[in-house]
Structure 1
Amino acid sequence: MIASRFPFTSFPSGWFRIAYSDELRPGQVKPLRYFSRDLVLFRTQQGQAHVLDAHCPHLGAHLGHGGKIKGETIQCPFHGWCLDGQGQCVDIPYASKIPPKARIRAWPVREVNGLIMMYYSRDQEQPTWEMPQLPEYNSEEWVMLKRISWRNIKTHVQEIGENGSDIAHLTCRHPQAVKDFERGTPPEIKGPVFTYRTNPTYKNKFPIPMINPKLTVSHEFTCYGLGFLATRVRVNVLGGVWILFDLFPTPIDEEYIELQGIFGVKKIVNRVITRFIGHDPAREAELAIYQDMPMWENKLYRSTPNLCEGDGPIREYRRWVRQFYSEQKNLAKVLVQQS
């Protein structure tokens, strides 16, 4: 059981991806299962996306199975009750008076970077920060080559971000790609944003002849909370190739997470050449996830790990994540201690 491997007693708060924006058209309704909750995602006729707890406040019908959009509301398939985007019942077709408690929980939603993101808080708090619009997602200079998806990974979302700080695993788990690494600079922490920069040396995975098969890179890993993990890489080839690899882990329940991702390359001459150049690195990035997955699904979380020089900023990362848990005082006792 996950509870026997991890000390976390609740899901972390923050913004988490629940769909891509282009997966939800106006008038569409989708059932979801995240954070051990049944949810319903829908887009109104005017294009606004909303997420509600899934079950109607009347007799508990699941709005995601047969519910329909009626203007700016979702209509229950059982008795036709209509609820607005705030979860309030605003119309009952056979009654003139609406019960005062006829409402369900609405979750904060934002559409940013082509994602529909939901803010989770166990204590029903409103968002304390916003996910920024990243320039790459609105630029014609970037070509998004591939979306990748893994459902039901048996781990905790915190592990995915920690993996980005754990640079010592690179040559062991990904020897086909990484030749060497350095610890990098101390992480930069600004509230809910954690950024770590280093300069690993990669083997040549570009489909072009190279005099030097080693590729030095500038590597920047940024966590926007625990639900949006952004990697930017600049490779010293062709005058500089920029790569984007973003991951979006979302808890499904206490046992499993969903992991979505996007791989992109800044345009090189044109889209055809960019896709040719980026094919192998994209495949390598996806392979890296498969190589790490057995570790995530079977490792034990060491609350006080025996860290050594060269491990990367794991200690700093674990201090940073405390802010996202409701039980901060209890969590602090089991996370790695202050040095």
Structure 2
Amino acid sequence: MVRTSNFVSRESNRLQAFPTGWFLICFSDELEAGGVKSIKFMGQDLVVFRTESGKVCLSDAFCPHMGAHFAYGGTIQGEILRCPFHGFCFDTEGTCVKTGYGTKPPRKAKLRTWPLQEMNGLILAYHQQDWNHPEWTVPELDDEGWTPLIHHTWELRANPYDTAENSVDFGHFSTVHGYRKTEILQPLHTEGPKLTARYAMDRDAGVFGKKNDLRAEFEITKWGLGYSCVEVEVPEYGLRSRHFVFPTAIDYEMLKLSLAISLRHVAHPEKINPVLRLVPKSMLHKLILGASMRGYKNDVSQDFEIWRNKIGVERPPLAEGDGPIHAFRKWAKQFDPSSTGEHDRVISAAE
């Protein structure tokens, strides 16, 4: 079989291996205390649950005792997950702490659990083929002065490699999304699992009754293939926002693609439209976030038909204006568990 990389088949653009790194399981507001939620993650059936104290755990979906699915009748009792079938109970380390009959728990009744991070309204899980401990983490953002996230999720036929590459594919910004005059403010830079870049673009925009040719600046920060934060600034309107993209493989063909937006508190709404000066702050931020999310969903969905029907090209004959595709692919190799190529060492965010 011909491959574009070890990740993706040329014939089908189907994943060949699940990437290493941190990936979104769900948003924090989707899992209340005492909740048990079924998750499809990297070809596996899992459950994510939150104990009464608020601790989150991601584990196998099926009880190791006799195979019941925890998301269908399983309950949280304090800090443990109780199986609906025979009442076997497990802590957040996956250890069986008691049976339903008061007998000694079998030593082999053990749940696999995944490393998790919960921060900034996100629940992220670390995936690695050989089950080593995470070599790096995604740093928490300072969200003082920013609104809570609003978010949206699709499921579609695509892969996280393509969706991550999309943000450095400058050539498609004009042909697919209608942006113009792309200017590189900071070239792509990589350091271990982190990738950054800054650029600016123009676009016709209609915002709250005004139609303008807007200049926007974009600062991209990626941690692996599963976490992307683009800080967007529109100087003319005094707007700053964080646009997040979280591609998580459901299986080798299907992708859960989640978007989220947070808005920096707006100091001068009259820059956007004089009428907005009269709108209460709480409603103002809701209005702007709603308009931003509608535009963001429209932008991202313009790529869907391309992702669903494209093939991979291992060595594309790039032209000036395509963007740093080769640099991105060299960086991305480190997340391929079967890659044998040279790449930057994956380092801890604390190093």
TM-score, with length taken from structure 1: 0.89
Structure 1 Cα separation of the partners of residues 74 and 127 of structure 2: 23
- Secondary structure of 2:72 counterpart: coil
Contact 2:333 2:341 survives alignment (8 Å) = no
In the alignment, what sits opposite 1:143?
147
Structure 1 Cα separation of the partners of residues 69 and 150 of structure 2: 33
User: Offset of 1:206 from its aligned partner?
Assistant: 2.6
User: Offset of 1:169 from its aligned partner?
Assistant: 0.4
From 164, 169, 172, the counterpart of 2:172:
169
In the alignment, what sits opposite 2:187?
186
CA 1:96–1:144: 2 relative to 1, 3 Å = closer
In the alignment, what sits opposite 2:264?
266
Structure 2 Cα separation of the partners of residues 278 and 104 of structure 1: 40
How big is the alpha-carbon RMSD for the aligned residues of Structure 1 and Structure 2? 2.1
User: Offset of 1:282 from its aligned partner?
Assistant: 3.2
User: Offset of 1:323 from its aligned partner?
Assistant: 1.1
Gaps of 5+ in 2: 1-7, 268-280, 344-351
User: Offset of 1:32 from its aligned partner?
Assistant: 1.2
From 306, 311, 334, the counterpart of 1:323:
334
In the alignment, what sits opposite 2:204?
203
User: Offset of 1:281 from its aligned partner?
Assistant: 3.9
User: Offset of 1:103 from its aligned partner?
Assistant: 0.6
From 279, 291, 305, the counterpart of 1:294:
305
In the alignment, what sits opposite 1:155?
158
- Between 322-331 and 286-295, report the one with greater CA deviation: 322-331
- Secondary structure of 1:117 counterpart: strand
Spell out structure 1 runs of 4+ moving beyond 6 A.
none
In the alignment, what sits opposite 1:54?
61
- Between 87-96 and 287-296, report the one with greater CA deviation: 87-96
Contact 1:171 1:179 survives alignment (8 Å) = yes
Structure 1 Cα separation of the partners of residues 197 and 187 of structure 2: 7
In the alignment, what sits opposite 1:216?
215
| Alignment pair present for 1:69 and 2:91 | no
Structure 1 Cα separation of the partners of residues 308 and 62 of structure 2: 32
TM-score, with length taken from structure 2: 0.86
In the alignment, what sits opposite 1:30?
37
Contact 1:228 1:249 survives alignment (8 Å) = yes
User: Offset of 1:173 from its aligned partner?
Assistant: 0.5
Tell me the amino acid that sits aligned with residue 246 of structure 2. F
Tell me the amino acid that sits aligned with residue 185 of structure 1. Q
From 97, 109, 123, the counterpart of 1:90:
97
- Between 32-41 and 97-106, report the one with greater CA deviation: 97-106
How many matched pairs?
322
Structure 2 Cα separation of the partners of residues 145 and 54 of structure 1: 28
| Alignment pair present for 1:81 and 2:88 | yes
- Secondary structure of 1:149 counterpart: strand
Contact 2:160 2:225 survives alignment (8 Å) = yes
Contact 1:183 1:312 survives alignment (8 Å) = no
Gaps of 5+ in 1: 333-339
Structure 2 Cα separation of the partners of residues 9 and 110 of structure 1: 26
User: Offset of 1:144 from its aligned partner?
Assistant: 4.7
Tell me the amino acid that sits aligned with residue 32 of structure 1. I
From 316, 320, 338, the counterpart of 1:305:
316
User: Offset of 1:5 from its aligned partner?
Assistant: 2.6
In the alignment, what sits opposite 1:335?
none
